[in-house]
Amino acid sequence: MTQTIDSLLLEEFGHHQFRPKQREAIEAILAKRDVLMVLPTGGGKSLAFQLPTLLMDGVTLIISPLIALMQDQVRALRANGLNAAMLSSAQSAEENAATIAAMRERKLSFVYLSPERLNTTFMQHVLSSILINFFVIDEAHCISEWGHEFREDYRALSLLKAQFPTVPIAAFTATATPEVQRDILGQLRLHNPLVLKGDLFRSNLFISVQPRLQKGIDALLAFLAPRAHESGIIYVSSRKQSEALAAQLRAKGFRAGCYHAGMSKEDRERAFEDFVFERVSITVATIAFGMGIDKSNIRFVVHMSLPKTLENYYQEIGRAGRDGEKAEALLLYGAEDALLARMRIGEVQDTAHQQLLHQKLNAMVRFASTQTCRHQALARYFSDTIDPCNDACDNCKAGPVEERDITTQARQFLSAIARTHQRFGKSYLIDLVRGSGTQKIAQNGHDTLNVFGIGKEHSKKEWLSIVERLLEMETLGLGEHFELFLTHEGARLLKGETTLSIAAHRLTPPKKERVASLHVKDGLFELLRQTRSMIATQKGIPAYLVFSDKTLHAMAEARPQTKAALLEVGGVGEKKCEAYGEAFLGAIGSYM
């Protein structure tokens, strides 16, 4: 084959240059060398194994953990005119048999299958009769017991080298601490592998954390207001919350759906396709949703509570802005999240596993409460070193933090807890110190206490922020029924042995101005997006597989009027230009 990797990059994928680490991975694969690539979501892992396949004989076998992820990848490859298929329970027996026959006849370049299917005796027999150029292990962190999504069936992949000693392995993951990397290399028995680790900093992703006061709905609605028509995922902690919040958003006029593991298989598939095909713009989901999403134009990811680990968090926010365009990640954090998580960890029987879970939770809590650069904190966790981001996170954008002393208010609240015998929750106690004459307070006789109304000069929101800080600093504990009690540190603070302060903006948050949307939706961009939507509907494929938002923005800026000029736009390859070029050139011509 006379084509070079540079010509293929342009002709097949429509890109003029490689992203960092891609060329090294491709050249290593072509040299039949084992590879481990740790690259953030959106960094271009897929291209690193898809491109070399086009220069090699045989089929590339991609081991992937989810059917939805396989379907998305196969759809994308076929949209680029490449021969791809999958072997899974989502296909009929006839379809799977046809795929196996096509593999034997060397009519397929890419075949996706799960580790469970790979590990069957039948599949081992099939593969012994196939010319395999190399194996791809996608989401390779699943093989490590030190990772956050360990899967037992991935462990069996350690036998690949014994069964196929001459076939190289390329392993890919977005998240891996040094410990997980070592485990991946050892489990897969990679021989003299090239290990490539990309820069974790994603400059297009703005990361922010806000205290989740009450249920966080006000903060969420304020965040969503300027993003009503943009694509995003909202992660929640329970099935019930997924359904309730989606209904709440629909009542506010948002096109929102929900997704959780309690839904039937058919309902989950429908919810997944509604989001991918943009019949809804927002999906409210538990962590069961996401790994299978290859959608490039997700503009935001919101977490309504603290994720279990930084690995989970980093992978989930990585689903925003995969196309390189501006995107946002918002975490609404309540200090009780960590207290509840610790209670759940306490139920784990295995002491070593319990210790590991505590370490990961503590790292997540430190990230949520840090006042330094959040991108830098993430990089540090994964043993990477970067400079502060300057303006890609809330802390760097805000600059130096002004601290305000809240020792007096803290002691007032702690005194209220002590005088009510540590039996009540925060809402009751806030009403008590604010002097709210509720029926329950009167029935309990607490309106006669000297702490009744002691803090009436502060608003409910200010008291919520103070309580949040007390929980954060572990001066308060949370009981089984969400009652608050004093810890050892709380007792010291009440006695006057310590003090407490809070960031000024948390106590009196500035009034928020209405934020402009992430992208200025000019007339031409909107027209191009409508054209893309029309083509996607006709072809029965997700809109982002036609062209990404990034490509449409570049097209709107360049305004090409010939196919030659259209080919100069990043993301437009020859096949897509031939298939869709006339429609987009027509839209540009009519606009001009």
| Averaged pLDDT of the chain | 88
Across 57-102, the runs of DSSP E, i.e. the strands, are: 59-63, 84-87
State the helix-helix crossing angle for 426-434 and 407-419, rounded to 10 degrees. Answer: 110
Kindly state the helix (H) or strand (E) to which residue 29 belongs, with its residue range. Answer: helix 22-30
Residue type, 166: T
Tokens 């899974």 found at: 88
pTM recorded for the entire structure: 0.74
CATH of 205-393, one of 3.40.50.300, 3.40.920.10, 3.30.70.580, 3.40.50.150: 3.40.50.300
Q: What is the pLDDT of residues 505-564, one digit of tens each?
A: 777 654 544 333 434 346 888 899 889 988 988 888 888 888 888 899 899 999 999 999
Q: Both tokens of residue 495?
A: 């006695």
pLDDT, residue 574, reads 85
Contact 233, 319 (CB under 8 A): yes
Nearest to 327 by CA among 298, 307, 289, 303: 298
3-class SS at 364? helix
List Cα–Cα distances, 168 to 33, 84, 119, in angstroms: 6, 20, 18
Residue type, 356: L
Where exactly does CATH 1.10.10.10 map onto the chain?
A: 407-499
What percent of the chain stands above pLDDT 70? 95
Please name the fold of domain 5-197: Rossmann fold (3.40.50)
How far is residue 585's CA from residue 273's CA, in Å, rounded to a whole number? 29
| Burial environment of residue 162 by CB neighbours within 10 A (0 to 12, 13 to 18, 19 or more) | exposed
pLDDT at residue 382 tops 50? yes
Contact 13, 80 (CB under 8 A): yes
For the chain, what is the total number of helices (H) and then of strands (E)?
28, 17
pLDDT at residue 213 tops 70? yes
Contact 541, 79 (CB under 8 A): yes
What torsion, rounded to 10 degrees, do the Cα atoms 476, 477, 482, 483 define?
A: -60
**pLDDT: which is higher, 292 or 53:** 53
What torsion, rounded to 10 degrees, do the Cα atoms 79, 84, 87, 89 define?
A: 10
Q: What is the pLDDT of residues 344-353, one digit of tens each?
A: 898 888 888 8
Where exactly does CATH 1.10.150.80 map onto the chain?
A: 523-591
Q: Both tokens of residue 295?
A: 């959608």
Where exactly does CATH 3.40.50.300 map onto the chain?
A: 5-197, 205-393
Kindly state the helix (H) or strand (E) to which residue 248 belongs, with its residue range. Answer: helix 239-251
How far is residue 189's CA from residue 357's CA, in Å, rounded to a whole number? 27
CATH 1.10.150.80 holds for 523-591: yes
pLDDT at residue 269 tops 90? no
Q: What is the pLDDT of residues 70-129, one digit of tens each?
A: 888 888 888 888 899 999 888 888 999 999 999 999 999 999 998 888 888 899 889 988
List Cα–Cα distances, 544 to 239, 292, 298, 498, 534, in angstroms: 28, 15, 10, 55, 12
The lowest-confidence range among 59-63, 268-272, 372-376, 377-381 is 268-272
CATH of 407-499, one of 1.20.1440.120, 3.30.1950.10, 1.10.10.10, 1.20.210.10: 1.10.10.10
How far is residue 546's CA from residue 297's CA, in Å, rounded to a whole number? 12
Contact 313, 307 (CB under 8 A): yes
Contact 577, 532 (CB under 8 A): no
Q: Both tokens of residue 113?
A: 């299958």
How far is residue 221's CA from residue 251's CA, in Å, rounded to a whole number? 12
pLDDT at residue 131 tops 50? yes
Q: What is the pLDDT of residues 294-303, one digit of tens each?
A: 788 899 999 9
**Confidence bin at 290 (pLDDT 50/70/90):** low
What percent of the chain stands above pLDDT 90? 49
